[in-house]
Amino acid sequence: MHTWIKICGTTSLEDALASVAAGADALGFIFAPSKRRIMPAQAREIVRQLPEKIERVGVFVDESAEVISAVVEQVGLTAVQLHGTESPEFVARLRTHCVSGHSIRVIKTVLVDDDFEAQLKQFFQEDEDGDPFLLDSGYGSGKTFDWERVKPHLAKNAACFIIAGGLRPENVEQAVRTLTPWGIDVASGVEREPGRKDLEKLKAFVAAVRRGETMKAEGR
């Protein structure tokens, strides 16, 4: 199993290329209020210099469909990630948006709080073959959630999922072994300061994910 790895909060070409060299499958560009926010024009210049195989994900929080669509087109995004209170209807509408004849991937964030199981049912109970959802402890929180607590609920849901929140080279191997996620999303855990990546942390993070896959496959 190859775990999809997204390095989020990309703000420079240097960091983008370092993430790709380390083994990232996708890069995230934040277009919402954040220390790692980037303007569409800047993101476009980075995206045009990336290998074709790298997914380009735009992160939005309670933005209008019109603005999201415009940024997707301007930057050349292949996916969007929604971290706000977007409704299932809004998510479904965005999924019909096409870029060069292809629909875009829409990743909806579900916060791990007292209501998270209800959110899973609301968004994903009939979408087993659809886009993955993302589990997080909060937008930009940098904190882990209780992996063991959510594990039983995920076992009942056939949709694929991504985990985020407080992941770093020291703990991501255990996260992979505990939850066997479809994907991993990281920002602060591979930085030397907000918005600036650390090459050694990037390499260590990807290596830890791959170790977790191997150990899980071997039943360890």
- Which helix or strand (DSSP H or E) is residue 153 part of? helix 147-155
Q: Which amino acid is at 170?
A: E
**Which residue out of 8, 15, 131, 185 is catalytically annotated?**
8
**Which residue out of 129, 136, 146, 185 is catalytically annotated?**
136
CA dihedral 61, 195, 179, 21 (to 10 degrees): 120
**26-30/191-193 β-pairing:** unpaired
Q: What's the CA gap between 21 and 13, in Å, rounded? A: 12
User: Is 146 a known active-site residue?
Assistant: no
The two tokens of residue 75 are: 């930057």
Phi and psi at 217, nearest 5°, equal -65, -30
Maximum distance among all alpha carbons in the chain? 47
User: Is 8 a known active-site residue?
Assistant: yes
**191-193/196-197 β-pairing:** antiparallel
Q: What's the CA gap between 195 and 201, in Å, rounded? A: 14
Q: What's the CA gap between 193 and 86, in Å, rounded? A: 30
For 57, 81, 187, the CA distances from 27, given in Å and listed in that order, are 6, 11, 10
For 20, 114, 191, the CA distances from 17, given in Å and listed in that order, are 5, 39, 14
Q: Which residues are designated catalytic?
A: 8, 136
